[in-house]
Amino acid sequence: MAESLIRDLTANGLKVGSVKHTSHDHDFDLEGTDSWRHHHAGTVATFISSPQKLICHTRELSDLKQQALMEAAFSDCDFIIWEGDQATENPIIECLWSGISPRNDGDARVIAFITDNPLDNGVKCFKFDEATKLCEFVMTRFAQNNKNWT
């Protein structure tokens, strides 16, 4: 659903950034490339830079460094979609697949649910095929709070 929301926000002329949070280790690079070898030789941070993209892989990322990188990377974004971070203090839209109960029931950060089984808890619900309606909700919700979208 994040992909659909990103697509719809972008189609509305907004600049969108995204972060996929995961709790397990991951690699971004192809084994054997120069940047992969640099990283495995022990660099603290490795950037892959080309005219089209900039990719960063860091070790031991402090909150301060992460904040600085995020601010630089997303400085011109209207929205940032952060998927999978349960510790966020930001508003949450929670996806509930069939048979799953809300993890954050009663959590004030939850502004909407995406589910095909409507809930009766006073929080706005969208079906999985209602990405356009979700986009309209998000744009309206955040336009009320910040006229500049950022």
Q: Which residue has the higher pLDDT, 60 or 110?
A: 110
- Mean pLDDT of all residues in 8-28: 80
What are the tens digits of pLDDT across the range 20-48?
766 666 666 778 888 888 888 888 888 88
Q: Does the pLDDT of residue 144 top 80, yes or no? A: no
DSSP one-letter code for 100: P
Distances (CA, A) of 98 to 2, 83, 101: 18, 19, 9
Q: Does the pLDDT of residue 119 top 50, yes or no? A: yes
Look at domain 2-145 and name its CATH class. Answer: alpha beta
**For 42-125, where are the alpha helices, taking DSSP H only?**
63-73
Residue 148, pLDDT score: 44
User: Can you tell me which residue has the tokens 């999985």?
Assistant: 128
Q: Is the pTM of this model over 0.75?
A: no
